[in-house]
Structure 1
Amino acid sequence: MSGGARICKFETAFKSMQKNAFTESGKANQIRRFSATMVQAAKRRNGDEKRRREAEKAENVMHLICWGPN
């Protein structure tokens, strides 16, 4: 095997590694974006739950004010 063929082989392997690294980094970015979306959805869901509980508390207070503890 000549020196030129060996260099060509290494060059091909290096290009393949670069391509795989780029593809993997793209997947990592997709995972990060998906993860961020899931975190935002969880925060939104928690916010909705908090608003629901606050509305329920306000309703209970109004009931107690109008009708008493009985």
Structure 2
Amino acid sequence: MTAKPSNSRREFLHKLTATIGGTATLALTANTLQAAPQKIIETPNEPVPAAKGYQHTKHVDTYYQLADF
């Protein structure tokens, strides 16, 4: 019967160094990364249509009667 060597410690150390290395790389490069400025598109000044708001119609009355409020 042969005993297989345990690789759990080696795997743990590999994952630990990968995580630390990735975190360090991110921390060092985060200050150098910048988003590109957005171009502002001007829209012509068009009049905004007035909101109609709530309209009490026969359809609305039917809905409220059937909804059992």
Q: Same fold (TM over 0.5)?
A: no
Q: Would you tell me which structure has more helix in proportion to its own residues?
A: 1
TM class, shorter-length: 0.3 to 0.5
Larger Rg over CA atoms: 2
